[in-house]
Chains A and B, each alone.
Chain A
Amino acid sequence: MNFLRFILIAAAFIFIGILPVHAKDMVVKEPPKSLSKYYPPESKQPKWIQQMHKMSTHFGGVFVNLKEKDFENVDMHADKLVEEYKKTSEMVPEWEEYFDIKAAEAFAAAAKTHDIAKAGKASGGLGKTCGKCHAEQEVAVWAKFHWPSFHKIKVTDPISEKEIEFDDYMGSISSSFKGVTVNFGEGQYDRAAKALKVFKSRYMELKSTCSKCHATQDVKRFYVGKDADTAFAGLSQELNSEKPNPGKFWKNIGLLGKTGCKHCHLVHRTNSFIQEMWEK
């Protein structure tokens, strides 16, 4: 038995030791300032991602047309790809080195032979240049320009009716939540019932907060929906009863946490952490 335990512990140490060696490290570095001019608000349209789509369409267009033996369009897409690739290489000076114009031209030349095998082979060199940039920059670009920032959101606290920063608001929700659970744990049911009014009001305010970005009811309800209504109704019923049932109380607290809080945190927190590093 002891031997088995020793083997398991040793295996765990070996696994933990090996893990960093095999894991890939990712550095998420803030994108250069020069990229900002291709995204709102500096630009009316998200020009950078549009440029990516253009190149991707022409790259795909070469192979779609090679398969369909539409060689006129193969040539057109090959030429356009080189043209857009060159244009993109000049957009962000800090990223110039990611681009290899010769590789793009070699791909276009191979595509124009109308031999799908040659085009496929030549696409490797060009694809590597795209892949390297995507591996090193894509997460950062999405975090910076495609995810709205939580740190710019202001929330009107329904209790004080003052507008506060989102992070502070999360703090006040957390405190009022503890007002409910701590008092309940101590058997102070009246205090817990009063704290529930405050907590519910702050929690439900999140529906308005979600609507600052989410336009459809379904998305908002994913975070603060039927489960939240059920949980609050259940909590209120328990706290207003003669003898609250702890089992039912904690079950409803769990329901709130598992549906509302967890849903939002799983989707948004990682990105919010990245943005917070850059905005501080």
Chain B
Amino acid sequence: MKRSSRIFDLIIGVGLIGVAGFAMLYFLVNERFEWIPEQVLELARDPEILKSPPAKKCSECHKAIYEAWKDSRHSISWTSENFIEASENRTKEKCLPCHIPKSVRGEKPSPRLDLRDEGIYFVSCHFIDNKMQGPYDLLSPPHPTFRNPDYVRSNFCGSCHQKTFKEWKATNVEDTCQDCHMPRKKGRLTQKAGFNLLHKKRWVGDHRFLHGEIKEKDVIMESGWEENFFIISLKNQTIPHSVPTADNGDPRLYLYIKFFNEAGEEVDNAKEIIAPQQETALPYNKKIQYRYRLFDKIFKAEVELKYQPAWSKEKTTVRAETVRR
């Protein structure tokens, strides 16, 4: 009985020491890592990471972010068939800086010569001035990471998305690019066994860089008749940049109008192409009006608004309605 009690005490003691040790280590790693001598950290450094590694190398620790990025359009910015076709087999110089950026830092990047298949990847966005940077100061033994407040500011995305950034700035809306396209949730930055427990949960942005779908509520449509004219207006009332938007891509909204006579026969039609490259995209919170002269006696109009992203030929219906006279 005495012996087993001693063993129990020993287990409890070791457990308590373990818990206390872990708590100390957790505190040190997350709150006071500057107390750890540099010589000790040097032993854990991985010099390969500071030499522009491929994304797969980053995934050894940052599996969740890697997988999200892999799902993003950023990961295929160099390899997507659409890009290869649009850039004439990647020969158009104007495409290179943003499709294979060397270093994203608030201004138009330079194109890089190595690891082009990775597209816009970890190194492009986080390895700046030979230092790993992000929204937090972190211990991360294999590579020191330094906080840069630009990671939660729109101007960072504006390095490439310059036109969209300007459109957003003009709206005076506080929500940043990251608020909508990289929504944050609490999670761990690393998934590597052991290390994941040592690092506390932080707000981590969604690295799929969500591309918002345009929904019926986003575009308000009003229409009416005026003698021999049909008038329709569209207003982008929820998205704080033009819709659609792109610096060089060609996403579009198509507005189709079919005119019918009293017998239900289609007698005329009209179409609008609402596209950033044609400077016809819908600005934030401003009504845009279209007028159509009617050459016949029209009984009703069928209106349909469809969206086609830059990387696809497929269109999806945003809204459709019938307007009777």
A residues contacting B by CB (< 8 A) are 40-41, 44-45, 148-149, 152, 158-159, 190, 193-194, 197, 201, 204-205, 207-208, 211-215, 217, 220, 240
Contact = CB atoms under 8 A, between A and B. Distances in A.
A159 B254 CA distance: 11
A215 B94 CA distance: 7
B273 interface: yes
B79 to A, nearest CB: 14
Contacts of B248: 211, 215
Nearest to B100: A44
Contacts of B94: 213-215
B91 interface: yes
Nearest to B279: A207
B86 A212 contact: yes
B258 to A, nearest CB: 14
B278 A152 contact: no
- Using C-beta atoms within 8 Å of the partner chain, give the interface range for chain B: 20 to 34
Which of B86, B275, B277 gathers most chain A CB within 10 Å? B277
B89 A205 contact: no
A240 B277 CA distance: 28
Contacts of A193: 293, 295
Binding site secondary structure of chain B: loop
A215 B113 CA distance: 21
28 contacts: A40-B91, A44-B116, A148-B88, A148-B92, A193-B293, A193-B295, A197-B270, A201-B271, A204-B273, A204-B280, A205-B273, A205-B278, A207-B277, A207-B279, A208-B250, A208-B275, A208-B277, A208-B278, A211-B248, A211-B250, A213-B92, A213-B94, A215-B94, A215-B247, A215-B248, A217-B279, A220-B277, A240-B293
B90 interface: yes
Given A152-B88, A204-B273, 14 more contacts: A44-B113, A148-B91, A148-B92, A149-B88, A158-B271, A193-B295, A197-B270, A205-B273, A207-B277, A208-B250, A208-B278, A213-B92, A217-B279, A220-B277
A215 B93 CA distance: 10
Contact of A41 (B86, B90, B250): B90
Interface of B: 86, 88-92, 94, 113, 116, 247-248, 250, 270-271, 273, 275, 277-280, 293, 295
A158 B271 CA distance: 9
A7 B9 CA distance: 128
A194 B250 CA distance: 26
A226 to B, nearest CB: 11
A158 B273 contact: yes
A236 to B, nearest CB: 9
Nearest to B113: A44
Given A148-B92, A158-B273, A207-B278, A190 B250 contact: no
Contacts of A148: 88, 91-92
A26 B116 CA distance: 41
Contacts of B278: 204-205, 207-208
A41 B273 contact: no
A41 B247 CA distance: 23
B89 A41 contact: yes
Contacts of A149: 88
Given A152-B88, A205-B278, A194 B295 contact: yes
B307 to A, nearest CB: 14
Contact of A190 (B279, B280, B295): B295
Which of A44, A193, A201 gathers most chain B CB within 10 Å? A44
Nearest to A163: B313
Nearest to A204: B278
Contacts of B86: 212
